[in-house]
């Protein structure tokens, strides 16, 4: 979907005025864009998940205090004052949303995908999560509880997905390469 040109023109007008008046630094605009394009993203969260699968002591620390645990990786700031990790189990499947805006754990997942910010997901996943998950190709058994987390304050949530049993012998780096963004939001269940 292309943006309406009037939005683009308005953005250009605002930016050009702010730069002319010396209220923003154009170099810092470019630095910010590079940082969010290259340095943060779901590859960060994937490393956390892979380590938690392999290291029970780390997993315990992660579930106890997510913010402190991700500092071990040097991930911090970026919309995570308090990170809570919600663990999928055979009995419970977790899925995260922000119905009021777009709250998302930037430090571990980067900026959210478009569908996460769009009205369809935000309106429906709190009401009919099983139907929404099916649209992602994810079917949760009826006897598994679906636990929806609406991040309405400054706490940020990330899902710790279940590891497929056949991945047990893989190295932590291989595991990290297989952990998808969507599994850490909770709209996907990882499979072989």
Partner 1 sequence: MDGIHDLGGKHGFGAVSPELNEPVFHEGWEARVFALVLQLGGNLDRSRHAIERIDPISYLADTYYGRWLGGLETRLVEDGVLSQSEITERARRLGADVNDRVAARPRDAGDQSPEKKSSTGGFSTAQRTLKTPPRFELGDQVRTKSTSTEGHTRMPAYVRGCIGEVIGVHGGWVYPDSHAHGKGEGPECLYTVRFTTEMLWGEAGEKNIELSIDLFEAYLEQVNDDD
Which of 44, 59, 149, 163 is in the footprint of partner 1 by CB under 8 A? 149
Q: Cβ–Cβ contacts within 10 Å for residue 121, how many?
A: 23
Does residue 142 touch partner 1 according to CB under 8 A?
A: yes
Tokens of 52: 């938690």
Active site residue 102: yes
**Residues 6 or more apart whose Cβ sits within 8 Å of residue 128:** none
Q: Are the C-beta atoms of 43 and 176 separated by less than 8 Å?
A: yes
Does residue 60 touch partner 1 according to CB under 8 A?
A: no
Does residue 115 touch partner 1 according to CB under 8 A?
A: yes
Active site residue 16: no
CB of 132 to partner 1, least distance (A): 6
Restricted to residues 68-87, the positions that interact with partner 1 (CB under 8 A) are 81-82, 84
CA 132/CA 175 separation, integer angstroms: 27
Which of 119, 165, 166, 191 is in the footprint of partner 1 by CB under 8 A? 119
Does residue 110 touch partner 1 according to CB under 8 A?
A: yes
Q: Which stretch binds partner 1 (CB under 8 A): 46-54, 58-66, 137-145, 161-169?
A: 137-145
H helices then E strands: how many in the chain?
11, 4
CA 164/CA 67 separation, integer angstroms: 26
Given the residues 5, 16, 76, 101, select the one marked as catalytic: 101
Given the residues 5, 16, 76, 103, select the one marked as catalytic: 103
Which of 54, 73, 102, 178 is in the footprint of partner 1 by CB under 8 A? 102
Which of 44, 151, 159, 176 is in the footprint of partner 1 by CB under 8 A? 151
* Inter-CA distances, 75 with 41, 66, 84, 110, 119, Å: 11, 11, 14, 11, 29
Q: Which stretch binds partner 1 (CB under 8 A): 32-40, 43-51, 55-63, 167-175?
A: 32-40
Q: Are the C-beta atoms of 158 and 45 separated by less than 8 Å?
A: yes
Partners of 94 in the β-ladder: 147
Q: Which stretch binds partner 1 (CB under 8 A): 46-54, 55-63, 132-140, 170-178?
A: 132-140
Q: Are the C-beta atoms of 106 and 158 separated by less than 8 Å?
A: no
Q: Which residues are catalytically annotated?
A: 98, 101-103
């Amino acid at each position: 979907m292309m943006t309406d040109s009037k939005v683009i023109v308005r953005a250009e007008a605002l930016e050009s005025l702010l730069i002319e008046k010396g209220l923003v630094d154009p170099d810092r605009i470019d630095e910010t864009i590079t940082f969010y394009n290259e340095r943060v993203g779901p590859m960060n969260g994937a490393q956390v998940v892979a380590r938690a699968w392999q290291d029970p002591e780390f997993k315990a620390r992660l579930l106890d205090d997510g913010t402190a645990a991700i500092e071990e990786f040097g991930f911090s700031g970026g919309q995570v004052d308090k990170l809570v990790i919600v663990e999928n189990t055979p009995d419970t499947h977790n899925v995260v949303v922000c119905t009021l805006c777009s709250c998302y754990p930037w430090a571990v997942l980067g900026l959210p995908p478009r569908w996460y910010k769009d009205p369809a997901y935000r309106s429906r996943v709190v009401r009919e999560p099983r139907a929404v998950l099916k649209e992602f190709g994810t079917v949760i058994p009826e006897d598994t509880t679906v636990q929806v987390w609406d991040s309405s304050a400054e706490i940020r949530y990330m899902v710790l997905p279940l590891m497929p049993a056949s991945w047990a012998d893989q190295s932590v780096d291989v595991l990290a390469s297989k952990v998808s963004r969507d599994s850490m939001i909770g709209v996907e269940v990882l499979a072989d």
